[in-house]
């Protein structure tokens, strides 16, 4: 079945578009953070700074100047091992971490850094959302304070 087209015989009103116009063509600019996708980015973050909270583990890495990524971007990755539970539990934990990162990282994350949020068993999906946000804020403060 083909979608209906805008009439070309002059019966369409001026400015009318096809009723089958997809809203998915619009680019997402709703505050979505650039997401880490390459395994090498996750491995590089795993060798950098780490800070654990009750709900999640946060790995943070300052990118090098010679990397081909915009230095003003804050990138984030999410992962949960099978220890967290079945696919439903892992996906729920990642969804919650995604929302927390979307709310917190634009203001508390530092440009030029990559962050990886790792879910914890029985904690990430069960923790209160405000407390989850507080955990991420606390961990970011700890990660970005200068070491003695």
What pLDDT is recorded for position 28?
45
- The pLDDT of residue 121 is above 90: yes
Q: Do the domain assignments include residue 123?
A: yes
Task: Report the number of distinct structural domains present in the chain.
Answer: 1
- The pLDDT of residue 26 is above 50: no
pTM: 0.76
Q: Do the domain assignments include residue 88?
A: yes
Q: Do the domain assignments include residue 19?
A: no
Q: Do the domain assignments include residue 3?
A: no
Mean pLDDT over the full length of the chain: 85
Range of the domain at 66: 30-144
Q: Do the domain assignments include residue 45?
A: yes
Write the CATH number for 88: 3.30.230.10
Per-residue H/E/C for the chain: CCCCCCCCCCCCCCCCCCCCCCHHHCCCCCCCCCECCCHHHHHHHHCCEEEECCCEEEEEEECCCCCCCCCCCCEEEEECCHHHCCHHHHHHHHHHHHHHHHHHHHHHCCCCEEEEEEECCCCCCCCCHHHHHHHHHHHHHHHHCCCC
What pLDDT is recorded for position 105?
93
What pLDDT is recorded for position 68?
86
């Amino acid at each position: 079945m083909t979608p209906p087209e805008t009439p070309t015989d002059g019966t369409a009103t001026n400015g009318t578009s096809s009723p089958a116009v997809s809203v998915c063509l619009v680019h997402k600019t709703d505050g979505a953070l650039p997401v880490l996708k390459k395994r090498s980015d996750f491995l590089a973050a795993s060798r950098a700074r780490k800070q654990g909270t009750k709900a999640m583990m946060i790995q943070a890495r300052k990118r090098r100047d010679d990397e081909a990524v915009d230095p003003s971007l804050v990138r984030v990755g999410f992962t949960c091992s099978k220890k967290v539970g079945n696919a439903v539990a892992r996906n729920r934990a990642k969804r919650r971490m995604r929302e927390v990162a979307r709310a917190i990282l634009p203001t508390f994350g530092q440009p030029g850094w990559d962050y990886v949020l790792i879910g914890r068993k029985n904690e990430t999906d069960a923790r209160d959302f405000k407390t989850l946000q507080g955990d991420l804020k606390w961990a970011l403060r700890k990660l970005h304070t200068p070491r003695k």
